Structure 1
Amino acid sequence: MSASESAGGEITSLGNDVLLAFIPLAENPEWTEKLAKKFKGLQIRWVKSITPEHTIVKPDDLPAETWDGVTLLYTFLPPRIELIPKVRFVQLTSAGADKWPGHPKYQDESVVFCTSNGSHAPQIAEWVIGAWLSHEHGFRRYAENMKTAHWESPFASNARDSTAQRVGILGYGAIGRQCARLASALGMEIYAYTRSERSSPKSRKDDSYCVPGTGDPDGLLPSKWFHGAAREAVNDFLAQDLDLLIISLPLTEETRHIISHEQLALLGKKKAFVANIARGGHINQDALIQALESGQIRGAALDVTDPEPLPADHPLWKAPNLLLTPHVSWKTDSLGKRLLDILEQNLEKLATGQPLINVVNRKLHY
């Protein structure tokens, strides 16, 4: 752990606060020094939440003095309430807050929670479109051929380009919007699904953190919008002859197993490809395995499973036409800069009484 305390600075309203950055990044001394100068009196502590062996550091693993007096917290995992009695602001490194419901601090409406939604969108969208293109052009087949030095006849396999294929994006937030941007560049038709209706141009705008030059800030890319919380509304969306379904919505009790036997049957009309980069609980995995084994859908790509890590004997490992990665789509060397940028923006807004970005809706948990 390292600590820094300002002797100067421009903003004084955080002068009695202690910030703990408990995040999967090594400390950035330049950023820490800049923050200390900007916020007079703010004490900054930084603990990397990943060990040299690439395992997660739990909140209880930290020395008690690390938590002493902390009022501002940047974290992913929820610490016990006994460790953070004075915390009044929580910035999450994740795009959702599904780890926090039930926590006393989360239930305290006076404590502000914000996510890092938007910081993960560019890299996750690339993972999605990369998996899609790999499947449509048979890259995995050719990778296997390389192992045996087999030069396959170019007439022995088929490939499909993306032009005029239809992508349905289930959850049109920051990640979904960047997926739409990339898919649009490939000539795909975009259908968007949101929980609430987005009937006006104003309602279709994105108010979350956005990396410049990315996403769909004004909501102009979808040719058709769908909405609703009921399964009937979701089914109507899935019945739109989709070639690619991207699952990019938060996990709540409402969205758990939002894709199951009935929904996969609807996607079977065009033998859609299913990409899930949200949470493993969105898909009934037994139903997905059946759909893959029977050829009901053309393939799938999962960066998330239920549970995680996925047991070695789980049948998903052997499902055909499936790409499975260990929850890594969020990773990029650029993430650290974005996470610190969101935190700095929100600290300044908190200090000056401005509306914060990515404030969590406590009912929807995102």
Structure 2
Amino acid sequence: MKVMVSGHVELPALSGMEWIKVHPDRPLPPEVQEAEGLVLWTLNRDFVRRLLEAAPNLRWIQTLTAGVDHVLAMNLPEHIDLYRAPNLHEELVTEHTLALLLSIARKLHVLRDQQREGRWFVPHPFGSIHSKHVLIWGYGNIGRSLAQVLQVLGARVTGVRTSAGLDDEVPIITTADFERVLPEVDHLVMVLPSTPDTRGVLNQKVLDLLPERCWVVNVGRGDAVNQPDLLQALQKGQIAGAALDVMTPEPLPADHPFWSMENVILTPHVASQSDRLQTKMREFMLENLGRLSSGEPMLGRIERSRGY
């Protein structure tokens, strides 16, 4: 089987698989016409569209990104199955989110600014993750991984997803319970995918329910946040701050107010980046394509109607 692979992804040799390297900035090799699979690591929709048009025999796409919205937006033919990579990003996004939360608690972003100014000042009050109430909005694999770490540090964690219940002692609510829970929250962590149901869900109505001490942390998708509403809430002091790894658009325009706001921490969509990522990719693809070769179902099949 011939399988197209995003150029910088290095996959191990696998019996019965022939890799065809494809690059956004290079002509496509003629072999793509015979490709039945695609291993994708890019958010470039124009490139994805080129691949779809050039590969009439394509039967499945394995995306290695945390979200699949950029591929679903292509309106894939029904005969093409789409797969995500479960457990590939949980550890890394958990670490990045924890870093943001610790920066908030220990004011590392403020202290770094002071260092650059050569200024010695203690910006009271410092905080702690211990005993804080963290609400994880989008409680999937990443949310579960993050909850485990936060509980070890003494935080009280609540998850939000489409069905309520209990998940490893973490209470799970739906958005129908927001009016009861949001006023108690210290940190609202968003790990939502991009779907029609999640776009702009952090809006003025939700922000109005948050206490002034609350920080919003977004490591999911930028379009889940109504940015004008968030900006207004930050400027008015309605909430304490925001830590954003994802924004709309990306990159954020150079003149956007977020860049210069002391109570905003920005990172350039790097929550899943790591020196271990290539190794994790190879391990996952070895397992998943091994399953394909042996006739077993691949892991991570996407339900298109749900968007994840």
TM-score greater than 0.5 by the shorter chain: yes
SS at match of 1:100: helix
Q: How many residues align?
A: 302
CA contact (8 A) 2:4 2:37 kept: yes
Q: Tell me the TM-score normalized by structure 2.
A: 0.90
Correspondence for 2:84: 115
SS at match of 2:157: strand
1:124-167 Cα distance to aligned partner (Å, 9 max, x none): 11111111111211222222332343333x5x621111111111
State the AA in 2 paired with 1:68.
Q
**In structure 2, do the counterparts of structure 1 residues 360 and 23 end up closer, same or farther at CA, with 3 Å as the change threshold?**
farther
1:118-267 → structure 2 map (5 Å cutoff): 118-152=87-121, 157-195=124-162, 197=163, 199=165, 219-222=167-170, 224-227=171-174, 233=176, 235-236=178-179, 239=182, 241-267=184-210
Match of 1:89 among 52, 55, 60: 60
Structure 1 unaligned regions, length at least 5: 1-16, 50-56, 205-218
- In the TM superposition, structure 1's runs of 4+ consecutive aligned residues that sit over 4 Å from their partners are none
Distance 2:220 2:128 in 1: 25
Change (3 A) 1:221 1:335: farther
Quote how far apart the aligned CAs of 1:100 are. 2.1
- Residues 261-300 of structure 1: matches in 2 within 5 Å? 261-267=204-210, 269=211, 271-300=213-242
Q: CA deviation at 1:225?
A: 0.9
Q: Secondary structure at the match of 1:46?
A: strand
Letter matched to residue 225 of structure 1: I
Structure 2 unaligned runs (5+)?
Answer: none
Alignment of 1:284-363 (within 5 A): 284-363=226-305
The structural deviation recorded for 1:244 is 0.8
The answer for the alignment partner of 1:69 in structure 2 is: 34
Q: Is 1:96–1:117's contact at 8 Å kept on the other side of the alignment?
A: no
Q: Is the 8 A contact 1:245 1:272 kept in 2?
A: yes
**AA of the residue aligned to 2:62:** Q
Matched, 1:21 2:5: yes
Residue-by-residue CA offset, 1:14-44 (whole Å, 9 max, x unaligned):
xxx101111543x35xx23xx1xxx23x322
Distance 2:7 2:139 in 1: 27
* Distance of aligned partners of 1:309 and 1:181 in 2 relative to their CA distance in 1, 3 Å threshold: same
Given the superposition, is the C-alpha separation of residues 141 and 198 from structure 1 closer, same or farther in structure 2, using an over 3 Å criterion?
closer
CA contact (8 A) 2:101 2:129 kept: no
Q: Report which of the two structures shows the higher radius of gyration computed on alpha carbons.
A: 1
CA distance in 1, matches of 2:100, 2:184: 20
State the Cα distance separating 1:102 from its structure 2 match: 4.8
Q: How many angstroms apart in 2 are the aligned matches of 1:238 and 1:362? A: 31
Identity %: 27
CA distance in 2, matches of 1:358, 1:325: 27
Cα deviation digits, residues 183-211 of structure 1 (max 9, x gap): 1121001101112x254xxxx7xxxxxxx
The TM-score normalised by the length of structure 1 is: 0.77
Q: Does the Cα contact within 8 Å between 1:168 and 1:244 map onto a contact in 2?
A: yes
CA contact (8 A) 1:292 1:320 kept: no
Cα distance in 1, alignment partners of residues 5 and 62 from structure 2: 9
Report the CA distance between 1:316 and its aligned residue: 2.3
